[in-house]
Amino acid sequence: MLVEFVSSLILAASPTVDWYFRSEVRAATTGDYDAQLNPAVRLRVPAGQFSLLLAYTPRILLFEPNVPQKVSVLHNAQLAAELRTGKTGRILLAEDLSYGDQSFSWLVTGADGGVPNLTSLAQLPIIKYASATTTLGIEQALSRKVGIGITGGYTFSGGANTAAQQQLPLSHGPSASIRVASAVGTRDALVFRLVSYATFFSGTPSTVAPGSTIGSPGTRSYVADLGAGWQHRFSKTTDGEILIGAGGTRYVTPVLIENQLFPYFIAAIRKKFLETQHQSIWGALTFRVTPIIDPITGVIYEQADMYALLNYSPQPKLTFSFTVGGSISLSTHVHQNLGLAGAVVTYQLTHEVGLSAGVRLFSFPSIYSSGPGAPVPGPNRYQVQALGFLAVTLNERTRL
């Protein structure tokens, strides 16, 4: 009866199904080659003020170099429900699940889209991985000029077996944020933001090798960032924001308790350089200096990172995209400097079919250290990985 009721509710809501499939073949400068498949199906169910999203977006790697099995699959699923509370508010509840063979490398995740990982995770090999994140968010306008957003969540993640936990230990922890924006005139807004999160490492001592620098059971790391800033619309084509504040941290192990205060700075700008009926050029740049928790060791350190995008479409069907980014550790005992770049050209054959080709580069230190007295990279001790790729993308929307 319940299944019949849910089915009738879905059909009565006129849901839509988005089908997506991207296949990419790659060749690296080392002579290795592999392929990646990104299928996805998303079911959207609108029902008045309520809407539901169900998504399954696995990642399939074929013939990945230095991996024993020739097929690696990462299963990703999402369930999200949104309730509109009048014209100016909404409540969002989401659950994100992942399990399988995970790669955090830019050479792989660049095919997924989204912002690249700029932490020590980016250097890990493919591991058996599991994660679950629950998020609850509330957005509400308090007046015509003031709005507030509150988000809370909890995450479990880490290696899904003993071997994987040697490289990425199991961890869990809460996160919360409060953001208040107040309009000042027609082009400006004042922003106040508090973000806090924590990571608690779990597992058993047997999963941590003697002398290992990975987070050991009992390690707890806390970060709370408090910032105030300014948003400004410079013109119809340019807007940006700046946030300045401080981040308080607490690092607790069975033998050490360390409290620190770090500066906190975020700046972002977005600009449309050209926009006509047939051509467009737009870009975005984000720069941050914030304390972060190393997801492998639990050590807290200050990191500066930058990420920039530039898109150029000389005609509606043709797009050139350029990406550059990197991160630098500002700590004396953590040496975690990463760099990445990418360039891709995409041609949309039809509304449903697209072709793309490009290159990706990833640079990282050949010796990773995290902790006083650990070995550090010497001059020019960096590895650079590069590959070229060709991809075909198919997509379709069906209304049930």
Confidence at 334, pLDDT banded by 50, 70, 90: confident
Confidence at 366, pLDDT banded by 50, 70, 90: low
pLDDT of residue 252: 93
Backbone angles phi, psi at 207, to 5 degrees: -85, 0
Confidence at 12, pLDDT banded by 50, 70, 90: low
Environment class of residue 323 by beta-carbon count within 10 Å: exposed (0-12), middle (13-18) or buried (19+)?
Answer: buried
Confidence at 29, pLDDT banded by 50, 70, 90: confident
> Does position 87 have pLDDT exceeding 90, yes or no?
no
Q: Which residues, 6+ apart, have CB-to-CB distance to 149 below 8 Å?
A: 137, 138, 139, 140, 177, 178, 179, 180
pLDDT, tens only, 384-396: 999 999 999 999 9
Which one-letter DSSP state was computed for residue 120? G
pLDDT of residue 13: 65
> Does position 375 have pLDDT exceeding 80, yes or no?
no
Of 307, 325, 319, 233, the C-alpha closest to 282 is: 319
Q: What is the mean pLDDT of residues 105-121?
A: 91
Q: Which residues, 6+ apart, have CB-to-CB distance to 27 below 8 Å?
A: 33, 387, 388, 389
Q: Which residues, 6+ apart, have CB-to-CB distance to 367 below 8 Å?
A: 335, 375, 376, 377, 378, 381
> Does position 132 have pLDDT exceeding 90, yes or no?
yes
Q: What CATH number does residue 38 fall under? A: 2.40.160
Q: How far apart are CA 46 and CA 10, in angstroms?
A: 9
Of 305, 316, 367, 335, the C-alpha closest to 106 is: 305
Q: What is the mean pLDDT of residues 45-61?
A: 95
* String of DSSP letters for 271-306: EEEEE-SS-EEEEEEEEEEEEEE-TTT--EEEEEEE
Residue 9 · residue 2 · CB < 8 Å = no
Q: What is the mean pLDDT of residues 181-194?
A: 94
Confidence at 11, pLDDT banded by 50, 70, 90: low
| Tally of domains within the chain | 1
Instruction: Name the percent of the chain lying above pLDDT 90.
Output: 74
Q: How far is CA 162 from the centre of its chain?
A: 25
Q: pTM to 2 decimals?
A: 0.88
Give the position of tokens 């792989």: 108
Q: How many C-beta atoms lie closer than 10 Å to residue 69's C-beta?
A: 10
Backbone angles phi, psi at 33, to 5 degrees: -140, 155
Helix, strand, coil percentages, rounded to 5, for the chain: 5, 65, 30
Which one-letter DSSP state was computed for residue 58? -
> Does position 210 have pLDDT exceeding 70, yes or no?
no
How is residue 222 written in tokens? Answer: 């806390």
pLDDT of residue 31: 85
Q: What is the mean pLDDT of residues 164-177?
A: 95
Element (H or E) spanning 7, and its range? Answer: helix 2-12
Q: What is the mean pLDDT of residues 146-170?
A: 95
**Mean pLDDT, the chain, integer:** 89
Higher per-residue confidence, 75 vs 333:
75
pLDDT of residue 214: 67
Backbone angles phi, psi at 12, to 5 degrees: -70, -20
pLDDT, tens only, 271-312: 999 999 889 999 999 999 999 999 998 999 999 999 999 999
How is residue 232 written in tokens? Answer: 């400004």
pLDDT of residue 376: 46
Q: How far apart are CA 242 and CA 10, in angstroms?
A: 43
Q: What is the mean pLDDT of residues 141-149?
A: 94
pLDDT, tens only, 248-269: 999 998 888 999 999 999 999 9
Containing structural domain, residue 35: 2-399
How is residue 153 written in tokens? Answer: 């969540």
Of 214, 250, 248, 206, the C-alpha closest to 121 is: 214
